[in-house]
Structure 1
Amino acid sequence: MASYDAVVKKFEVAISELEIKTPFDESFTRPTRIHVAKISKTLSHEVTKLALLLQELRANPEFFENIEECVDVLSSMFKGFTAYACDSLYRLGKSHFLRVYKSILDMILDYKENEERLGDEEENIVSKDRIGTAWKSCEMFEKLPLSNYHAIVERGLEIFATVNDAFEEVDDIYDAIENYKLRCQEAKDKQQNDENDDEDEDEKEKKQKIQEKKQEDEEEEDEEEEEDDDENVILDDEDDDDFVIDQEDGQDEAQMMNEKEMNNVDDLHTVIDFIIEMFYAVDMHVKNIIGGKDQDDVSYESTEIIGHMDSVIQSFSQLSSIIDDVASGIYPPQNEEFVVGQIAFLDSESRKLKQVLEKMGVQRPPTNHQEIISQLEVVKLS
């Protein structure tokens, strides 16, 4: 319908412009919290007013004039916002603008669709959820992030969540393998001790009469256990029943994990642990820069430092995607070429990143992995 065409086109153009990041230019006005709060409240009011008008009356282009003016203000604000935003802030901010545009446009399109099939005297009723979503998106827009440093921290925590999920997955298998190796060593030590006892015939004869029955029982049990161990060695008795080290052919139900595959798990575990330590160092470095400053305070921002830190965060993001892929590929049977290649790439890139951080003065944290995880999770939940 013609009455809706202009406003629908206005929103569609605004949405498409969200993909364009304005190059840094001081001629643009950087939005403040006051600007954001003002347009947020104006939008909320206009959405409510528009819903009431379209419910009772057939659409008139004049009904949309104020909403269109708000879109113009938002478009101008977005250009100023992106002109000063690093990639992390741009990514977070774009979602706020898109949510506002999309929710209001959806509401308007619902009214348009209804109006096309209704009689002149019928009320145009759109669901309360649709109107409520549009109104709520305007209210939430008031929380648009403005600080590059805070955006880098927030983006970093999102990446950390992905990396840590993958690490926990690898860590479960790593622990199972360590348990398996420990049990193998214990069995080897016991066998050696038994052999030493056999060599000491005098001692054996002295004990034979007293412990003959006991030794026979123990030897029978040992033989049964050794036969079981020779066939299959379970990595973990309770939690890792799916991971079986199969030492004989013909057992189709058992998934194989050979020594090379176990070594791959160990290598991946090591490199992810190292990457998490570096991430924590960056997180603490940025937070030290922020100190106790307000989230809307951008007066202390350094374009050069923000550029370096944002580049580091993007590197972590790329590593997190690879970690997620390779972590899901370590289950037996492994695609060895893929797993080994990805681990080697992660190791190489993480070492390069370490050198970059050292040049930036980012220090490796003097703490262990579990302390790092607990501290980052506390921040994430708070």
Structure 2
Amino acid sequence: MKDLISITSFASVSALGSTPEKIWENYLTSEHFLSLKENVWVAQLTNEDKLAIEEIRNSDNKYKKLDDAVLYTLFAARKAIEKTNWSSEDNFGINIGSSRGATSLFEKYHKEFLETGKSSTLSSPTTTLGNISSWVAHDLQSNGPEISHSIACSTGLHSLLNGIAWLHADMSDKFIIGASEASLTDFTIAQMQALKVYSKEKDDYPCKAFDMNKTKNTMVLGEAAAVFCLEKGEQENAIAHIEGIGYATEILKHNTSVTDNAECFQKSMKMALGSVSPDEVDVIVMHAPGTLKGDSSEINAIDKVFCNKTPFLTTNKWKLGHTFATSGLLSLELAVLMLKHQKTIEVPFAEKQEQPKKITKILLNAVGFGGNAVSVLLTK
């Protein structure tokens, strides 16, 4: 990669909470944070965070009609920007992605249309994909570019790629990247169930992400938003540095297909490593959605790239669910926290692994439907 990119601030809201301290505390337990909603496993925001987000909704009349996906991002973006010295005069760029977008509002307005034959006045502006970034820009009073996109479950890390591209092109000195997903709606859950990937487990761990002995799919959906502040070069206040990025797309054989050895991951991981030896990687945060094919193909790809010296492997979906677009950025958050605390997070039901003596470099993966893979190499 041309230049190091500094992560100078970050914030998220998920089933694990909304402060780095609380999130890390929750990572240190062997508990999951999944709950039953009408007999379906989901990963919901905490009641405390939901109340704080409702305060944002009620703070401005213009916010009352916004989708939860937008409000989750406003909540996270405000927290992230508080930890920086950025101001609106900096004209920082904003790229917030979402796989589903304004899911709840879209379903609500479509139902109204089917029942009445008419569409509500705000149905279009409040359900467009660009709705998220533009409202974050409004809330933070930024004059910089606002970009939105959707690339399934790798959307968050594609936001990262885009922010880095703007910084490397000298089109911006600072960039906010993020993703948001408020996808715990009946229709979205029904879609995942129709794919036969949703968990029906009834034991201690409903999502068996990284359990290589499972015999059925165990994906569980979660809601979350995450935001990272990026700056070019080695900044004094950097929390961590992005040393390498990689991306690849597989040729489709099916709408949801990925090859047995996840060729897309092999290519993206090799690209992210660049001239860095695989032996230098201490930890890999896997995408590992908890599905049979998704987990096994990624393991196979890692075996191909790292041969006989596999780094410590972990994932967080067993704990906070699959948050679609936000999942890759929650993996990035976990990587940043592990670098800071110099401690790995084990998957309690997975085979024991040898602990790295020191954590210096972490690789993380995400992939979306159609094999849109992204890998990121993080260092201190």
What TM-score results when the alignment is normalised by the length of structure 2?
0.23
What TM-score results when the alignment is normalised by the length of structure 1?
0.23
Pick the structure with more helix per residue. 1
Pick the structure with more strand per residue. 2
Higher relative contact order (CA 8 A, sep 6+): 2
